[in-house]
Structure 1
Amino acid sequence: MFTGIVEERGTITAKEELADAARLTVRGPTVTSDAAFGDSIAVNGVCLTVTALTGDGEFTVDVMAETLRRSSLAGLAAGATVNLERAMRADGRFGGHIVQGHVDGVGTIVAISPTENWTIIRIALPPSLRRYVVAKGSITLDGVSLTVSAVGDSEAGPWLEVSLIPTTLTHTNLGQARIGSQVNLEADVIAKYVERMTSGPATESEARS
């Protein structure tokens, strides 16, 4: 489990395309300082398992086809900047909100509005995620725990807005975001559990998913 508090911006140093997966090598001196084989590290909000450590601040992860389909990792190449966070320690501070590292979908940035002290970013939401997003609720964007400042619907579809302070822009890759950029979205798991408990027994397809 994670909290959405990014520890460092890492860099993808290599990407190997496999038959039904991809292998990423990522440089992240902070998150590898105490990492071991089998540990979990969130890469742009995707929980991945460390399969190798090089000893010079790099680690390797395998990304299966399902994860590539559901996230923006498929579109990343060597040189890309990614947000990194180690799994939360049981005795650590809960700085953000409950983040599983299980991406629900990909959103597209449709507007960026800088102000004097912060920047407002609007993201087009996949319609299937609209019901989980509420104003002042939590959302994870590329692994960053954020508060939804506004949510709405337009002719083009549902959208949400977040307000980013300078620290977030400086210490995460959201500061490099542009209109058209894609971001991994993870809705608040509490909303999903509430929906499940109030909607009756799970269907056969849900049980298999």
Structure 2
Amino acid sequence: MFTGIVQAVARVASITDRPGLRSFTLQFPPGFCAGLEVGASVACDGVCLTVTALGPEDRADFDVMQQSLSLTTLAGLTQGSLLNVERAARDGAEIGGHPLSGHIDFMATVVAIRRPENNVCVRIQVPAPWMRYIFAKGYIAINGASLTVAEAERSRDGSGCFEVWLIPETLRMTTFGAKAEGALLNIEIERQTQVFVDTVRAAIDERLGPLLPALEKLLAAQGQSLDELAKPPAGLG
């Protein structure tokens, strides 16, 4: 498990490709690897990877399967690329963000960036059907960083957009300051929110049955959807 509090930025030192597998050697800041062991987990841009070997000068190796490469931004990394990294949480550690599994749900796209004084606002486009799990004031993990959704807008096809605000400390500790429009991001949705939304949607489907299409049509005519009915109560997600 991870907390979503990025601890450092690592650099890709080398990449080795083999059939169905890509191996990364990452260079970490001094001291990051203290006590790190082979078999330990490290979140790399939000993806939970296992240490396969430890090298000198705070370097470590990781293997990534083809499936993980196809589902995440790791396939686009090159030598010199930078990543947000976090070591696995220890028992009793303070959860400064929210609990993360390190399992990416989908990739999203940066569509706009605003830079008011001392802040950055990033607008992110989400493919269907994942927008149903994203709500204003809820948690979301972007490239391994736990962030709060500022605004959320849904489209009828299940896609949509949301915005997050980044303070100077977040920009200093992460790679977000270097992102531009069109950049792909790894997204892990908040699990409590997913369970709540799926449970409510299943209950509605079970109770309404044949009437469900009519309800969806009525809600659509009013500019709403079942996702709004399944919105978690305040304080959850």
Settle same-fold status: TM greater than 0.5.
yes
Q: Which residue of 2 aligns with 1:94?
A: 95
Task: Work out which of the two has the higher radius of gyration on C-alpha atoms and give 1 or 2.
Answer: 2
Structure 2 residue 107 is the aligned partner of structure 1 residue 106: yes
Per-residue CA deviation, residues 129-149 of structure 1 (Å, 9 max, x unaligned), is: 101100000011100100000
User: Does 74-83 or 29-38 show the bigger shift?
Assistant: 29-38
Aligned match of 1:173? 175
Structure number with greater CO (CA < 8 Å, separation at least 6) is: 1
- Tell me the distance in 1 between the aligned counterparts of 2:32 and 2:137: 30
2:7 counterpart of 1:7: yes
Superposed counterparts of 1:37-116, under 5 Å: 37-116=38-117
Matched residue, 1:189: 191
TM-score (norm 2): 0.81
CA distance in 1 between counterparts of 2:100 and 2:90 reads 13
CA distance in 1, matches of 2:70, 2:32: 26
Alignment-mate amino acid for residue 55 of structure 1: P
User: What's the counterpart of residue 158 of structure 1?
Assistant: 160
Deviation, 1:193, is 2.3
Tell me which residue corresponds to 1:125. Answer: 126
SS across alignment from 1:24: strand
Output the CA distance in 1 between the equivalents of 2:28 and 2:199.
39
CA positional deviation for 1:63? 0.5
Residues matched between the structures, number = 200
Q: How many Å separate the matches in 2 of 1:45 and 1:97?
A: 13
User: Residue type of the partner of 2:102?
Assistant: G
2:139 aligns with: 138
Amino acid at match of 2:107: V
Identity of aligned residues (%): 37
Q: Give the Å deviation of 1:195.
A: 3.9
Partner residue, 1:28: 28
Greater strand share, 1 or 2? 1
Contact 1:31–1:85, Cα closer than 8 Å, also in 2: no
1:10-50 Cα shifts (integer Å, max 9, x gaps): 00111111211210110113431220010000000000000
**Could you list the runs of 4 or more consecutive aligned residues of structure 1 that deviate by over 3 angstroms after TM superposition?**
153-157, 195-198
Report the 3-state secondary structure (helix = DSSP H, G, I; strand = E; otherwise coil) of the residue aligned with 1:127.
coil
Measure how far apart 1:128 and its partner are.
2.1
- 1: CA distance between counterparts of 2:10 and 2:170? 15
Structure 1 residues 128 and 154, CA gap change in structure 2 (3 angstroms) = closer
Amino acid aligned to 1:172: T
2:149 aligned counterpart, secondary structure:
strand
Deviation of the 1:197 alpha carbon: 4.2
